[in-house]
Chain A
Amino acid sequence: MTTGIRLTRTLYEHMLGDLRRPHEHAYERVGFVSAKVANISGEHALVLLTEYWPVLDGQYIPDPYSGARINSAAIREAMQRALDTSDGIFHVHMHEGRGKPGFSTMDAEETPRIVAGLRIAAPEAAHGMLLLSGNHCTACVWLPGAEEPVTPAKVSVVGYPIALLV
């Protein structure tokens, strides 16, 4: 079974634009994007990203040793949205530059804990992590019921033009 992620170019550029905004003390910005699924039991599952919202400026915790650290209020909001809508939620942030970005040690340790909470709030949905660069991305997807995350075979930006990332 393979997995693909799709989002519109409008959403993609909106996320990039938001995540590039400077923050008073955080080096990076963080946001969340909601996700629906299609063909979840088929050979190629689709995760469809639909709506992005940024972590508010006041929800970052000053931490000189990390790119960004968000507080419990930001996480609670994401979990509440998952609970209210039953949609999946993806944690999204950006490493500036071009080429395929890589999750940092902190990304790999901390973000799955957030995703674990989201999976409890909406267990029938797909949740995950999305890391953008200027022209590429890396993602991890936890499909419903799966113990381990999967790497999507393709991340497609749909619009003018189409971009097939990953």
Chain B
Amino acid sequence: MSDERFSRQSFLGEDSQPIFERAVVAVAGLGGGGSHVVQQLAHIGFLNYVIYDPDVVEDSNLNRLIGATEQDAAGAVPKIDVARRIITGLRPRARVDAFRCRWQENVGPLHRADLIFGCVDGFSERRELEAFARRSLAPLLDVGMDVHRVGDEPPRMGGQVILSMPGGPCMFCMGFLNERNLAREGERYGAAGGRPQVVWPNAILASTAVGIAIDLLTDWTRSLRETVYMSYDGNKSTVQPHIRLQYLSEVACPHYPLSMVGDPVMRWSLSTEAEASIR
């Protein structure tokens, strides 16, 4: 590998490459969004990955799964293998801890992550991943898209990139997660067809998330100082701060107080009456 490889990104700061090589990035979900994320992280130079996906490549993935081939679909290759191939093809000495399962089924390695990309499906999955990230004081970048059909109107394509920073507003605070949409989880996340997914909005959203991650790690813009909730309008090809940011409360996040970080601790105590009755 020549020293020239990263010369074009030296504007990120003279410490940027060592930062990328030291940081541990996790990607939960290696589908349309997650495959873009790992590709970009590998190009930028990251060396330490923790990645999760239980699925194999199918023919229906090939319209958007970065790095996947027809041969992968024919051979039912695990998505983690496609991701690992992308990463090690660019960074042969990368450490890739790849788990062919949901992250909840092997959560230990996720504790290594300095930054987590959540590319999962559904509100419940997002809630669980954010809860973990908050308990372990790890910033979480949530990425997702959906398409809704509204009567006879053209389908409405949208998406989001949300940075859930420990100590700051969570996805509940931002209104993205709420009891109503969690209760409706049985319905499809998007309403048009069988989970519509296409490559270009995934690319836009994943790229936005990666750009935010790079800024968080290098501070190259020296301007990223507050909550990020970017809203994608696929019909207008725009990405802009979500209007909900204007209405965020200045109160510290009540859903994930810092006193609740770490592994849950069970403490048992008897009421005074119970204790007296035992005696």
A interface residues, Cβ below 8 angstroms from B: 2, 4, 6-8, 10, 36-40, 42-46, 48, 50-51, 86, 154, 156, 158-162, 164
Q: Known: A38-B135, A38-B263, A164-B22. Is A8-B258 also a contact (CB below 8 A)?
A: yes
Contact B108 A39 (CB under 8 A): yes
Inter-chain contact B167/A164, CB cutoff 8 Å: no
- Given known A48-B137, A164-B114, contact A43–B109 (CB-CB < 8 A): yes
> In chain A, what residue has the closest Cβ to B112?
A44
Besides A8-B258, A44-B112, 15 more A-B contacts (Cβ < 8 Å) are A4-B112, A6-B137, A36-B262, A37-B262, A38-B262, A43-B112, A44-B111, A45-B111, A46-B137, A158-B139, A158-B165, A160-B165, A161-B215, A164-B19, A164-B114
Chain A residues positioned under 8 Å from B107 (CB to CB): 39
**With contacts A37-B262, A156-B114, A161-B218 known, is A8 near B108, CB below 8 A?**
no
User: Interface SS of chain A: helix, strand, loop or mixed?
Assistant: strand
In the complex, the number of residue pairs spanning A and B with C-beta atoms less than 8 Å apart equals 89
Interface: B4 (CB within 8 A): no
Instruction: Count residues of B near A (Cβ-Cβ below 8 Å).
Output: 33
* Closest residue of A by beta carbon distance from B258: A50
Which residues of B line the A interface, CB within 8 A? 19, 22-23, 107-109, 111-112, 114-115, 135-139, 165-167, 215-219, 224-226, 258-259, 261-263, 265, 267
Which residues does chain A contribute within 8 Å of B165, judged by CB atoms?
158-160
> Nearest residue in A to B136 (C-beta to C-beta)?
A38
User: What B residues does A38 contact at CB under 8 A?
Assistant: 111, 135-136, 261-263
Contact, CB under 8 Å: B216 / A160: yes
Q: Which 4 A-B pairs have the closest CB atoms?
A: A36-B262, A161-B219, A42-B108, A6-B137
Q: How far is the CA of A27 from the CA of B128 in the complex (A)?
A: 47
A8 touching B262, Cβ below 8 Å: no
Q: What separation, in Å, do the CA atoms of A63 and B111 have in the docked complex?
A: 42
Residue pairs across A and B with Cβ atoms less than 8 A apart, 19 shown, are: A6-B136, A8-B137, A38-B111, A38-B135, A38-B136, A38-B262, A39-B107, A42-B111, A46-B262, A48-B136, A48-B261, A159-B165, A159-B166, A162-B114, A162-B115, A162-B139, A162-B216, A162-B217, A164-B114
Q: Is the interface of B mostly helix, strand, loop or mixed?
A: loop
- A38 to B217, alpha carbons, bound, how many Å? 23
- Chain A nearest CB from B268 CB (Å) reads 13
Contact B262 A44 (CB under 8 A): no
Given A8-B137, A36-B261, A37-B263, A160 and B109 contact (CB-CB distance below 8 Å)? no
Q: Chain B residues near A156 (CB, 8 Å)?
A: 114, 137
On chain B, the residues within 8 Å of A164 by CB distance are 19, 22-23, 114, 217
- Shortest beta-carbon distance, A13 to chain B, in Å? 12
When distances are taken between beta carbons in the complex, the residues of chain A under 8 Å from B139 are: 158, 162
Output the least CB separation between A25 and chain B (Å). Answer: 34
In the complex, what residues of B have CB within 8 A of residue A44's CB? 108-109, 111-112
Give the chain A neighbours of B259 by CB distance below 8 A. 50-51
Report how far A46 CA is from B137 CA in the complex, Å.
9
B186 to chain A, nearest CB (A): 32
Known contacts A8-B166, A8-B167, A44-B109; is-contact A161 B216 (Cβ 8 Å): yes
Q: How far is the CB of B259 from chain A (nearest CB, A)?
A: 6
